[in-house]
Structure 1
């Protein structure tokens, strides 16, 4: 029952939720939730009496836990978050927590009934973590499927790079940055205004909240854009895409300097993507030319979707045609897009990107601005940041993974992004 005293703790923020605030929602298991609670307690937040069972606290009091946490933080550095949780039995799991200088692993046992308090925790396997570029690249190499990363100034050489910068990756909801750029351009040119009000006249599926709003609800473009970027609201995205126009968004992708925009054309709304992939059209659409796809899209019945089949398709964890039907960009393409966003004549779009940055204040200390958009579906994960240093120089940090055979792990990729960002220090 005793907690191993060889562990180190600190404060960087848990990884259980932030990345997925911008991607598809996933249901957290009791093991994952309690592992995240341990991280919060180590950071000095939360209530130990709610996390640990009375049996555990009889052996390690809340005060003792706090003292041990402080001692171990001094040894191993700040805690980064939950690295992994692997169930080993009905009420037991092996958890690994990442710290600044080490990985700490060990068994965790939960009570059999809700609220599933922790009755046993022993973090007794400590492994040092190398954090330099070579170590990061070794961990990137170990990821399943293919992966790439790029970090550095938009107008200069990379601080860190991994993989082929010209290789296109499916980017999931990060495509919404092209929508945001096209919307901002329309506002700057006077064709639209951020306070224009449009009716909610069609809906998509989660992620997001607007699919639950009343039909016809009045929505400003600013509100829709904020929801599109900060919580990856798919209904808000489709509403904006209809308002700005598919042609304008495709023109924005071309104008950004994208090397192969046709790979993403016709530029699909989220509902179009869902209908095609969860229906009978997927294989034919994947094999079709761009012209044929446009004809198929013109004839597509967006109301013809079996919701049960949709949820089965997109919650199964099995990648669906991610190499053929998605939105695509390479690291070089994303860098070109970030240059567009950094150069926008007015700041509203960048303010929207800064609503949910995933990183906490400590991790972004020294940066004058941080904006973010991420995206995922089964087998696809992309995380992209626009940053400005205190000297006013714009940077990009982007990391991507794609595996057509299996789901990819959000926590692992986010931890790698945090380590890459730290290379700037």
Structure 2
């Protein structure tokens, strides 16, 4: 038996926009006089999301044992907070039996997933899975309204949306650097692609896997010494944010090479990223106590070099790594940093000096559904996060061939940032008329 699941947008990254609600026709179909068990429970899910039904009324005991009622309520409130009130079941297929695909329409979105019932427990729900929540265009939305919503977010926010080399439609603190999370990996890709175009490397070059970091990713479980091409490493870095693949490319390229790329691209403060950390080093640093972190912050180059030896020798377990991040934001000044202007300048340089394959790699996981893809000739994406840190960055090309950038950064050392809220704002931006 599968474990009960209640997934919401707050638990997923990369959920983007969909077609208007008018495209959903199933809700307009006539309903049978006596609803089936699936239909009745699905309608109760709508009520649950709106806070009108309690979890104990509709879920099995095993579901509630796996996911606490308080968590169910919090996820429901998160969805309605971002996408408005749940309105109706817009799709249920099949309508009979014990398992079905499910879509629920909100005021500003459509949640897609599945539902399953347990006949042995009076057809209570033993699985409810939302695999995506697709945002709908907001009627009358404007850059000014979106800018106001960005300004209202707690903590520090930067943003830039506009054509490269042109005036932005949305701009907030464009020259303010913030922690990037895994979006820093764009600089790693850029350095590699520049070397390939210059003839110093080939995408087909094979290197042995010598690095090992912590998830996200897959390569942390691969055998040491496994042969991997540079193209495979880069693709994993961008498409699934593989940390081990990232550290392997940093080993191949060298930290100084990436810092040089930062300077050459016009980054406003490369020193903020020196020493240039591997992902494993950042994870290990965050397990250290406050005194050791202060030593890292205040130390000169020689003292940091000593600590880097310590970093290389430390081998905390994954449980220790998770524990370091379990209590919210920690040491957000130990990260990778760039401003929206820095990232835009990086893309300007990449268009000139990077091998074109880099842009195909960026498009493997564009974080965009068909409705947004229809508006652009090209979409490339990389995001990043840790508790208190979120960055979402797109390079886009419009139908006339002009490049645009959307980059949103949000740091809050006082609390975990709401990923779904920033993603919803990004969706609204990508749906704006241009």
TM-score, L = length of structure 2:
0.72
Superposed displacement of residue 199, structure 1: 0.7
Kept in 2: contact 1:342–1:394 (CA 8 A): no
Alignment partner of 1:219: what SS? strand
Kept in 2: contact 1:95–1:106 (CA 8 A): no
Q: How many Å separate the matches in 1 of 2:309 and 2:152? A: 43
Structure 2 equivalent of residue 34 of structure 1? none
**1:181-200 mapped onto 2 (5 Å cutoff):** 181-200=190-209
Structure 1 gap segments, 5+ residues each: 1-13, 22-38, 45-52, 66-85, 119-127
1:283 to 294, 301, 319: 294
Kept in 2: contact 1:91–1:111 (CA 8 A): no
Structure 2 equivalent of residue 141 of structure 1? 151
Kept in 1: contact 2:394–2:407 (CA 8 A): yes
1:220 pairs with 2:229? yes
Structure 2 equivalent of residue 19 of structure 1? 13
Structure 2 equivalent of residue 302 of structure 1? 312
Kept in 2: contact 1:234–1:270 (CA 8 A): yes
1:319 to 319, 323, 329: 329
Kept in 2: contact 1:96–1:106 (CA 8 A): no
Alignment partner of 2:148: what SS? helix
Q: How many Å separate the matches in 1 of 2:164 and 2:71? A: 49
Kept in 1: contact 2:379–2:395 (CA 8 A): yes
Q: How many Å separate the matches in 1 of 2:203 and 2:25? A: 39
Kept in 2: contact 1:193–1:221 (CA 8 A): yes
Kept in 1: contact 2:281–2:311 (CA 8 A): no
Say which is worse superposed, 364-373 or 279-288, in terms of deviation. Answer: 279-288
Q: How many Å separate the matches in 2 of 1:181 and 1:60? A: 47
Alignment partner of 1:167: what SS? coil
Kept in 1: contact 2:9–2:79 (CA 8 A): no
Superposed displacement of residue 369, structure 1: 0.7
Q: How many Å separate the matches in 2 of 1:90 and 1:383? A: 26
Kept in 2: contact 1:386–1:396 (CA 8 A): yes
Kept in 2: contact 1:153–1:396 (CA 8 A): yes
Alignment partner of 1:395: what SS? strand
Q: Structure 1 199/59 Cα, relative in aligned 2: closer, same or farther at 3 Å?
A: closer
Q: Structure 1 317/42 Cα, relative in aligned 2: closer, same or farther at 3 Å?
A: farther
Q: Structure 1 200/89 Cα, relative in aligned 2: closer, same or farther at 3 Å?
A: closer
Count residues with an aligned counterpart: 351
Q: Structure 1 199/117 Cα, relative in aligned 2: closer, same or farther at 3 Å?
A: closer
**1:200-349 mapped onto 2 (5 Å cutoff):** 200-280=209-289, 281-289=292-300, 291-292=301-302, 294-307=304-317, 308-314=319-325, 316-322=326-332, 324-349=333-358
**1:118-137 mapped onto 2 (5 Å cutoff):** 131-137=141-147
Q: How many Å separate the matches in 2 of 1:98 and 1:296? A: 50
TM-score, L = length of structure 1:
0.74
> C-alpha deviations, 1:79-110, integer Å up to 9, x for none?
xxxxxxx986586564465799x722489999
Q: Structure 1 390/106 Cα, relative in aligned 2: closer, same or farther at 3 Å?
A: closer
Structure 2 gap segments, 5+ residues each: 1-7, 16-20, 27-34, 47-66, 89-103, 105-114, 129-137
> C-alpha deviations, 1:238-297, integer Å up to 9, x for none?
0000001111000000101011110111111001111112124323212334x2464234
Q: How many Å separate the matches in 1 of 2:37 and 2:322? A: 41
Alignment partner of 2:162: what SS? strand
Q: How many Å separate the matches in 1 of 2:251 and 2:242? A: 15
Q: How many Å separate the matches in 2 of 1:295 and 1:59? A: 60
Q: Tell me the C-alpha RMSD between the 2 structures.
A: 3.5
Structure 1 equivalent of residue 134 of structure 2? none
Structure 1 equivalent of residue 39 of structure 2? 57
Superposed displacement of residue 343, structure 1: 2.5
1:161 to 171, 187, 208: 171
